[in-house]
Amino acid sequence: MTDANRYVIDAPEIPAVPVRGGGRFPVRRIYCVGRNYAEHAREMGSDPDREPPFFFSKPADTVVSGGVVPYPPATGELHHEVELVIAIGKAGREIPADTALEYAYGYAVGVDLTRRDLQAAAKKKGRPWDMAKGFDRSAPLSKIVPAALIGHPADGAIRLSVNNDVKQSGDLRQMIWNTAEVIAELSRYVGLAAGDLIFSGTPSGVGPLQPGDTVRASVFGVADLEFVLTG
């Protein structure tokens, strides 16, 4: 390598998620849909009209493959949000909804961990959500399951339990914007590329987690995820 191309510090590792059937999916960016289930919009005090979805993001290296997740600092109100996650397999921009599923390599179940107290304070002051949403290991994720194995899920139970108590129980059919529409809408704002993950929103029943809790999340027919919060 010529001197000009030499990294002056150790290059960070590319975050990656295991894939069912073998191999790893390298993560480029993580986007999240702000609210995509009417009941959850209501529980957060919003009107669930079919306004265009809005997006925020988490850093790519917030992804963690279950196991053990540390309770994050600077919060007294860590919340769970179970979500179907779309793994993008090829680049595109201004993608029409009727071809958008061609861009989905596969799917996973993820938990959009949220420092709800920081989010509420940010909302009140009109400030960004980054510190509420994008903290270290805030994106626990199952294996990614290729669409080649399971197709493109449009319905099926989406659930999350804490210590075996079911806290969130919905169905993918309740998404205000379906998978294809989410991909199409996001691609109006940013170029999507292979390696992008899109958390597609959470059903109602979000709530607090405590150190020591065991969290199990699933999307029927897609994947399961389990992690334990440590203190």
Q: Which is nearer to Mn ion, 81 or 213 (CB)?
A: 81
Q: Which is nearer to Mn ion, 81 or 185 (CB)?
A: 81
Q: Which is nearer to Mn ion, 92 or 201 (CB)?
A: 201
Q: Which is nearer to Mn ion, 133 or 143 (CB)?
A: 133
Q: Which is nearer to Mn ion, 134 or 146 (CB)?
A: 134
Which amino acid is located at 195 in the chain? G
The binding site for Mn ion (CB under 5 A) comprises 81, 112, 202
Q: Which is nearer to Mn ion, 112 or 213 (CB)?
A: 112
Q: How far is the CB of 201 from Mn ion (least distance, A)?
A: 6
CB-CB contact of 20 with 185 (8 Å) = no
For the chain, the DSSP string reads --GGGS-SSPPPPPPEEEBTTS-EEE--EEEEES--BHHHHHHTT-----PPP-EEEE-GGGEE-SEEEEPPSS-S-EEE-EEEEEEE-S-BSS--GGGGGGGEEEEEEEE--EEHHHHHHHHHHT--SHHHH-STT-EEB--BEEHHHH----S-EEEEEETTEEEEEEEGGGBSS-HHHHHHHHTTTS-B-TTEEEE----S--EE--TT-EEEEEETTTEEEEEEEE-
Distance CA 204, CA 44 (A): 9
Q: How far is the CB of 99 from Mn ion (least distance, A)?
A: 26
Q: How far is the CB of 84 from Mn ion (least distance, A)?
A: 11
Q: How far is the CB of 35 from Mn ion (least distance, A)?
A: 8
Q: How far is the CB of 32 from Mn ion (least distance, A)?
A: 5
Tell me which residue has its CB nearest to Mn ion. 112
Q: How far is the CB of 204 from Mn ion (least distance, A)?
A: 12
